[in-house]
Chain A
Amino acid sequence: MTLAWFARRLMLMIYTVIVVSMLVFAITQILPADAAQSLLGENATPEMLAALRAKLGLGDPAWQQYVRWARHVFTGDFGISMRTSLPVGPEMLAALSRSLLLAVSAILVTLAIAVPLGVVAALRQGRLTDTGVSLIAYLGVSLPEFVTATLLALLLADTWHWLPATGYVSPLEDFGGGIRHLVLPVLTVSMILVAHVMRMMRSETLDVLKSDYIRAARLKGLPERTVLFRHALRNALLPVVTIIALDVGYLLGGIIVIEEIFAIPGIGRALMVAITTRDLPSIQAGALIMAATYAVTNTLADMAYAFLDPRIRYD
Chain B
Amino acid sequence: MTELFIRLMRKPQGFVGLVLLALIAAACLFGPALAPYAPEKIDFLGRFRAPGWQNWLGADQFGRDILSRLMVGARSTVPLAFIATFVGSAAGAIIGVGSAYLGGRTDEAIMRTIDAVMAIPGLLMALLLVSTLGNGAGNAVIAIAVAFAPGMARVTRSAALNIRNQDYVKAAIARGEAAPWIIFREMLPNVMAPIVIESTIRVSFAVMLFATLSFLGVGAQPPASEWGLMVADARQYMHQAPWGLIAPSAAIALTAIAFNLVGDGLRDALNPKDER
Contacts and interface: CB of A to CB of B under 8 A. Distances in A.
A52 interface: no
Contacts of A19: 113, 116-117, 119
Contacts of B120: 20, 23-24, 287, 290-291, 294
Interface stretch (A57-65, A141-149, A175-183): A141-149
Contacts of A257: 123, 212, 215-216
Contacts of B238: 150, 153-154, 158
A154 B124 contact: no
B261 interface: yes
Nearest to A268: B124
B242 interface: yes
A271 B131 CA distance: 11
A144 B239 contact: no
A153 B216 CA distance: 17
B116 A203 contact: no
Interface string B131-149: 1100000000000000000
Interface size class, chain A: 35 or more
B253 A249 contact: no
A3 interface: no
B124 A256 contact: yes
Contacts of A141: 204, 256, 260
Interface residues of B, number: 44
Given A19-B113, A139-B257, A287 B212 contact: no
A28 B257 CA distance: 34
A253 B235 contact: no
B215 A146 contact: yes
A214 B87 CA distance: 46
Given A31-B132, A287-B128, A291-B119, A272 B216 contact: yes
B253 A28 contact: no
Contacts of A263: none
B127 interface: yes
A114 interface: no
A203 B216 CA distance: 36
Most buried by A among B115, B121, B215, B245: B121
Contacts of B260: 138, 141-142
A159 B150 CA distance: 42
Interface in A179-205: 203
Contacts of B115: 12, 16
Contacts of B266: none
A23 B260 CA distance: 31
B124 A27 contact: no
A27 B231 contact: no
Contacts, number: 137
A77 interface: no
Contacts of A275: 127-128, 131, 218
B121 A24 contact: no
Contact of B253 (A38, A147, A150, A260): A147
B85 to A, nearest CB: 15
Given A147-B252, A151-B249, A253-B124, A27 B119 contact: no
B229 to A, nearest CB: 11
A107 interface: no
Given A252-B121, A257-B123, A16 B132 contact: no
A265 interface: no
Interface string B18-37: 00000000000000000000
B257 A142 contact: yes
Nearest to B128: A27
Contacts of A272: 127, 216
A150 B253 CA distance: 13
B121 A253 contact: yes
Given A143-B253, A146-B215, A150-B245, A32 B132 contact: yes
Contacts of A139: 253, 257
Contacts of B256: 141-144
Nearest to A142: B256
A295 B192 CA distance: 31
27 contacts: A12-B112, A15-B116, A16-B119, A19-B113, A19-B117, A23-B117, A28-B132, A138-B257, A138-B260, A139-B253, A141-B204, A141-B256, A144-B209, A146-B231, A147-B231, A151-B245, A154-B242, A249-B122, A250-B121, A256-B123, A257-B215, A257-B216, A271-B127, A272-B127, A283-B128, A295-B119, A298-B119
Given A20-B120, A291-B124, 12 more contacts: A17-B119, A138-B257, A145-B212, A146-B212, A147-B249, A147-B252, A150-B231, A150-B235, A203-B276, A253-B123, A278-B131, A287-B124
